[in-house]
């Protein structure tokens, strides 16, 4: 099929002043200035003289005269069959005397503080290249197999090719039912499909929880260190000073410390199955204490059930939601266990909060896209998700063991050591105090290795460390990446001994 000629729009020609007259000359000046200013690029196609004359309400002859003048000056070129274009050989030239390019405002406009905060979040959340050790990159054996494509094609074939109209902000019923059944069996979550709200992932669930549950003066508990996604939301809401960073130890969030620091907090944001980023689960004693605190103070617990599917030793703890369905907002996602671009997660809330969360969801993006919801519902209901998780768990366990081994072989313990843990999609590699983790991460990225720094996840840039995702990377890829990290860390350490033991 022949390629159709695409002419650019020329909004700037609307500035022609009919009262001034000489419209043909004005058109020549405006087009010349637009080319000089870069608003028209070399090779851009212009509308036909007939079309442009009609849109401007002037004679075709005036447009033809303007085009011919600019062709003579070398700004435009005309070829039989392809119309008139900006010259592809045009070089940058200065405006002629008496002619100026469109006026540009000097300097940058002043931005509100929240704009700067959002810009910093954008920098920290920029996606890393899909190379070791980017987290949640489904490559090789961890990628969904051909079953996902077949299920998707089948479910889409059962529906209109171009569905119209708005959908339910809560999500399609068949997926909510599949999720309710899945979390009941796998995570001991107590809920009905009517309590499930489909989201674009955990991040949107956290945002909804903050919008619905918190008033401007409320204090909240957040883990120390914490997932940057929740601290970024609270900072953007102006709640930086009301975030109470509750320390984490080997048993998870220290609830007693939280009570001492802010007994009157309105909500606690926790990752009890696999603390992010350090990896330990919240102990049963701490879970019981957290639920007791929430009941005593009419407070909420927001449970991000991060990496709960990937435990390599023993059985995972059941969900915190199962202990207190009336007090816990439960967040889950399929973005990590399947693939991040899927952008499907869920929030499970007490029945009396469903309408509030749906209302907040409506204001954000109306409702989630529907097609992949039907595909995911069938994928879960037919048992494919369970099989995929079992396969991925074996792959990650193997990659984890190999990664720990090559780190021990290639990086001296006085430079770096692995945080103990037995689950999840990543490892934390602690660094000696003399090493700046953000510098290491930046240098590693330049050399084709993707890692994230741990220190920004603390309130005041705490311990230096790196997050290493497991993924489906080959042994050869991981060994090359660890050698690169070892060289960068050794250079940063400067030969100074800084041995520590992680607890």
pLDDT attached to residue 326: 96
- Burial letters 297-329, b for 16+ CB under 10 A, else e: eebbbbbbbbbbbbbeeeebbbbbbbbbbebbb
Inter-residue contact 140 to 472 (CB < 8 Å): yes
Domains located in the chain, CATH noted: 23-86 (1.10.10.10), 145-382 (3.40.640.10), 388-501 (3.90.1150.10)
- 278: nearest Cα among 444, 459, 454, 485: 454
Dihedral angle over CA of 188, 189, 194, 195, nearest 10: 180
277 Cβ partners below 8 Å, 6+ apart? 225, 227, 426, 428, 454, 457, 465, 467
Inter-residue contact 380 to 179 (CB < 8 Å): yes
- 269: nearest Cα among 237, 327, 223, 225: 223
> What is the full per-residue pLDDT of the chain (503 aa) written as tens digits?
444 455 567 777 777 777 787 888 999 998 998 888 888 888 888 888 888 888 888 899 999 999 999 999 889 998 877 789 999 887 555 455 445 444 555 567 787 878 877 888 888 888 888 899 998 777 777 788 788 989 988 888 776 555 567 788 999 999 999 999 999 999 999 999 999 999 999 999 999 999 999 999 999 999 999 999 999 999 988 888 999 999 999 999 999 999 999 999 999 999 999 999 999 999 999 999 999 999 999 999 999 998 888 887 777 778 999 999 999 999 999 988 888 888 999 999 999 999 999 999 999 888 888 888 999 999 999 999 999 999 888 888 899 999 999 999 999 999 999 998 888 889 999 999 999 999 999 999 999 999 999 999 999 888 999 999 987 788 999 999 999 999 999 998 874 443 333 33
pLDDT attached to residue 106: 59
Inter-residue contact 346 to 199 (CB < 8 Å): yes
Q: How far apart are CA 373 and CA 344, in angstroms?
A: 8
Q: How far apart are CA 188 and CA 311, in angstroms?
A: 16
- The tokens for 371 are 């097609």
Considering the entire predicted model, what is its pTM?
0.81
């Amino acid at each position: 099929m022949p390629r159709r000629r695409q002419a650019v729009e020329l909004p700037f020609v609307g500035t022609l002043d009919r009262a001034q007259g000489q419209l043909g000359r004005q058109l020549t000046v405006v087009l010349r200035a637009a080319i000089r200013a870069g608003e028209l690029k070399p090779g851009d196609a212009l509308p036909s003289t007939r079309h442009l004359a009609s849109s401007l309400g002037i004679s075709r002859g005036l447009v033809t005269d303007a085009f011919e003048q600019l062709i003579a000056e070398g700004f435009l070129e005309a070829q039989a069959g392809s119309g008139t274009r900006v010259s592809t050989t045009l070089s940058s030239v200065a405006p002629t005397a008496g002619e100026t390019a469109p006026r540009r405002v000097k300097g940058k406009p002043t931005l509100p503080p929240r704009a700067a905060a959002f810009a910093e979040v954008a920098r920290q959340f920029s996606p890393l290249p899909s190379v070791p050790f980017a987290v949640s990159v489904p490559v090789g054996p961890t990628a969904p197999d051909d079953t996902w494509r077949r299920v998707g094609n089948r479910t889409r074939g059962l529906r209109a090719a171009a569905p119209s109209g708005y959908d339910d902000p809560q999500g399609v019923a068949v997926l909510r039912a599949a999720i309710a059944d899945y979390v009941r069996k796998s995570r001991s979550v107590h809920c009905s499909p009517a309590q499930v709200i489909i989201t674009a992932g955990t991040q949107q669930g956290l945002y909804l929880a903050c919008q619905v549950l918190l008033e401007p003066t409320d204090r909240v508990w957040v883990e120390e260190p914490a997932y940057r996604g929740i601290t970024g939301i609270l900072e953007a809401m102006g709640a930086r000073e009301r975030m109470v960073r509750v320390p984490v130890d080997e048993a998870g969030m220290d609830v007693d410390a939280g009570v001492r620091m802010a007994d009157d907090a309105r909500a606690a944001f926790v990752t009890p199955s696999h603390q992010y980023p350090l990896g330990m689960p919240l102990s049963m004693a701490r879970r019981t204490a957290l639920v007791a605190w929430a009941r005593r103070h009419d407070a909420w617990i927001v449970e991000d059930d991060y990496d709960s599917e990937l435990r390599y030793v023993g059985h995972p703890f059941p969900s915190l939601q199962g202990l207190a369905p009336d007090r816990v907002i439960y967040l889950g996602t399929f973005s990590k266990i399947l693939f991040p671009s899927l952008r499907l997660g869920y929030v499970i809330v007490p029945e009396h909060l469903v309408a509030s969360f749906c209302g907040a969801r409506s204001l954000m993006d109306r409702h989630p896209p529907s097609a992949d919801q039907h595909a995911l519902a069938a994928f879960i209901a037919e048992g494919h998700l369970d099989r995929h998780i079992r396969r991925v768990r074996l792959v990650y366990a193997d990659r984890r063991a190999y990664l720990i081994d090559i780190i021990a072989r290639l990086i001296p313990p006085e430079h770096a050591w692995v945080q103990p843990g037995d689950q999840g999609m990543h490892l934390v590699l602690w660094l000696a105090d003399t090493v700046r983790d953000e510098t290491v991460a930046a240098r590693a990225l330049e050399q084709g290795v993707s890692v994230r720094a741990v220190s920004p996840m603390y309130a005041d840039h705490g311990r230096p460390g790196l997050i290493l995702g497991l993924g489906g990377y080959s042994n050869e890829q991981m060994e090359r990446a660890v050698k690169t990290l070892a060289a960068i860390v050794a250079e940063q350490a400067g030969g100074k001994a800084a041995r520590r033991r992680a607890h």
